[in-house]
Amino acid sequence: MVNIGLIGFGYWGPNVAKNIFNNGKYNLDTICDYDETRIEKAKRVYIEQVKYESDYRVLLADESITAVAIAVETSGHYKIAKDALLAGKHIYIEKPFTSTVEEAEELKDLALELGLIIHVDHIMIFHPVVQKIKSMIDSGELGDILYIDCKRLNLGQIKKDVSAMWDLAVHDLSIIDYLSGGKEPFYISAIGEKIYNPKETLVFLSLKYEGFIAHIQSSWISPLKERKIVIAGTKKMVVFDDMKADKLMIYDKGVNVIYDENIEYSDYSVKIRNGDLIIPYIPAEDALYNSLNHFLESILENRQSVSSPDQAIRLLNTLYRADNRMNK
Ligand SMILES: NC(=O)c1ccc[n+]([C@@H]2O[C@H](COP(=O)([O-])OP(=O)(O)OC[C@H]3O[C@@H](n4cnc5c(N)ncnc54)[C@H](O)[C@@H]3O)[C@@H](O)[C@H]2O)c1
C-alpha cells in the first residue's frame, strides 16, 4: 500500500484523485489545494475518507505520506516537486514536467541522489491503443515508420503559463518518443500565433527524425475537438482517433515498389496496394489509471518509470528547440 497525497484539485486533479482512489494499492491520504472552493468540491466527493489541506508544506511534513501527485499549473511544478523530493517523497507529476530543461535536470539529479522516483504523467504512452501500436511496430507488422501526423485541437482552455504546443504537442511528442525508442528530431520547424494570449494558442510543428518525418498541430482555437494520429509504415498504416468509439483502424494498405526484370536496369514501377481494414479489439483501459498504476509499481519494485525524467528532458529539449525556431 502506498500512502499518497495530491496537490492541486483544479480541472485535472479530480481525475487523478479518482484514479488513485479506485486503485486498491493506494491510500489517498490528503487532498491539498490553496483555493478553498476546490477543497469544498473535493469534500463533496470524498467526505471524511481523506484529509484536506490548504498548505502543501503541511502535507509534505507528514511522514506517513510516501508519495505525492502534483497536478498544479505547469509554472508551479518545479518548486513543489523540489520541496517534495527534499521531504523524501516519490513524485508523480503532470506534464509538461517543468517550464525549463534546467529545472528538469536539477530535479532528475536530486531524485537520483535521494533514491526517489519521479514519474511524469506522459499519459498517452499508457493508452491501450498506443500500447497496441507499439507492439505492432516492435513485431515488425507496421514495417518501417515513414511518417507520423498528429492533430490535437479544441476550443480553449487557453492557458497563460504555457503555449498550446507545450500543453498539447507534448502528448504527441511523448507518443513519438515511446514508439521510436527515444529518438530525437534532428530538424525542427515551427510556426505559431499568439492569438488572445501571451503564448502561442496555435502551433504547426514539423520534425525530421532519423528514418521518418512528423507533423504536429496543436490548437486551442479550433471549433472541433480532434485527437487524431496517422502513422504510415512501409507494410501497414494506422489511424488512432481518440474521439471515436473504434479508436484504432489498421489499414493493410501501402505502396509496393516492383523491380521488373523486363524493365531496363535500375528502373522500377510503383503500385498502390489496397488491402483489408481491420478494427482490432482494444481493452477498455483508462490511460490515467494505467499511468498512476505504473508509478505505484515503480515505487513498489524500486525501478525507474517508463516516463522518467530522461524521457521528459528529451521532450522538453524538443519543445525548447521548437520555441527557438518559432516563425523563423
Ligand atoms: N495528463 C493530461 O491529459 C492532462 C490534462 C489536463 C491537465 N494536465 C496537467 O495538469 C496540471 C494542472 O492543470 P489544470 O488544468 O488542472 O490546472 P488548474 O489551474 O485547473 O488547477 C490547478 C489547481 O492547483 C491549485 N494550486 C496551484 N498551486 C498550488 C499550491 N502551491 N498549493 C496548493 N494548490 C495549488 C490551484 O488552486 C488549482 O485548483 C497541468 O500541469 C496540466 O498540464 C494534464
**For the segment 147-167, what is each residue's pLDDT rounded down to a tens digit?**
999 999 999 999 999 999 999
**Is the CB–ligand 1 distance for residue 56 below 6 Å?**
yes
Cα-flanking dihedrals φ and ψ of residue 240, to 5°? Answer: -110, 110
**Is the CB–ligand 1 distance for residue 88 below 6 Å?**
no
**Is the CB–ligand 1 distance for residue 315 below 6 Å?**
no
Do residues 194 and 85 both lie within one domain? no
Do residues 95 and 14 both lie within one domain? yes
pLDDT tier for residue 257 given thresholds of 50, 70 and 90: confident
Q: What is the mean pLDDT of residues 70-84?
A: 98
Evaluate whether residue 236 is within a structural domain.
yes
Looking at residue 154, which CATH number applies to its domain? Answer: 3.30.360.10
**Is the CB–ligand 1 distance for residue 227 below 6 Å?**
no
Evaluate whether residue 39 is within a structural domain.
yes
The atom of ligand 1 lying closest to the CA of 79 is: 31
Looking at residue 86, which CATH number applies to its domain? Answer: 3.40.50.720
Question: pLDDT by residue (tens digit) across 94-136?
Answer: 999 999 999 999 999 999 999 999 999 999 999 999 999 999 9
**Is the CB–ligand 1 distance for residue 8 below 6 Å?**
yes
The atom of ligand 1 lying closest to the CA of 80 is: 31
How many domains does the structure of the chain reveal?
A: 2
Cα(204)–Cα(230) distance, integer angstroms: 16
Evaluate whether residue 294 is within a structural domain.
no
Give the closest residue (by CA) to ligand 1 atom 33: 33
Task: Give the contacts of 224 (CB within 8 A, at least 6 positions apart).
Answer: 153, 154
Do residues 151 and 111 both lie within one domain? no
* Radius of gyration in angstroms for the set of CA atoms belonging to the chain, rounded to a whole number: 22
Do residues 53 and 156 both lie within one domain? no
Cα(199)–Cα(14) distance, integer angstroms: 26
Indicate if the pLDDT at residue 260 is higher than 90. no
**Is the CB–ligand 1 distance for residue 196 below 6 Å?**
no
CA 7 to centroid of ligand 1, rounded, Å: 9
- Which residues, in sequence order, are bridge partners of residue 119? 92
Do residues 37 and 79 both lie within one domain? yes
The atom of ligand 1 lying closest to the CA of 38 is: 39
Domain span including residue 54:
2-122+300-307
Quote the distance between the C-alpha of residue 157 and its chain's center.
18
Do residues 116 and 129 both lie within one domain? no
CA 303 to centroid of ligand 1, rounded, Å: 27
Lowest mean pLDDT among 105-114, 192-201, 207-216, 255-264: 255-264
Q: What is the DSSP string of 125-158?
A: GGSHHHHHHHHHHHHTSS-SEEEEEEEEEEE-PP
Indicate if the pLDDT at residue 181 is higher than 90. yes
Do residues 178 and 105 both lie within one domain? no
Do residues 129 and 113 both lie within one domain? no
Do residues 80 and 228 both lie within one domain? no
Do residues 198 and 103 both lie within one domain? no
Evaluate whether residue 95 is within a structural domain.
yes
Q: What is the DSSP string of 258-303?
A: E--TTS-TT--EEEEE---EE--------HHHHHHHHHHHHHHTT-
Evaluate whether residue 295 is within a structural domain.
no
pLDDT tier for residue 258 given thresholds of 50, 70 and 90: confident
Evaluate whether residue 293 is within a structural domain.
no
Do residues 63 and 155 both lie within one domain? no
Do residues 110 and 57 both lie within one domain? yes
pLDDT for 287 equals: 98
pLDDT tier for residue 268 given thresholds of 50, 70 and 90: confident
Indicate if the pLDDT at residue 264 is higher than 70. no
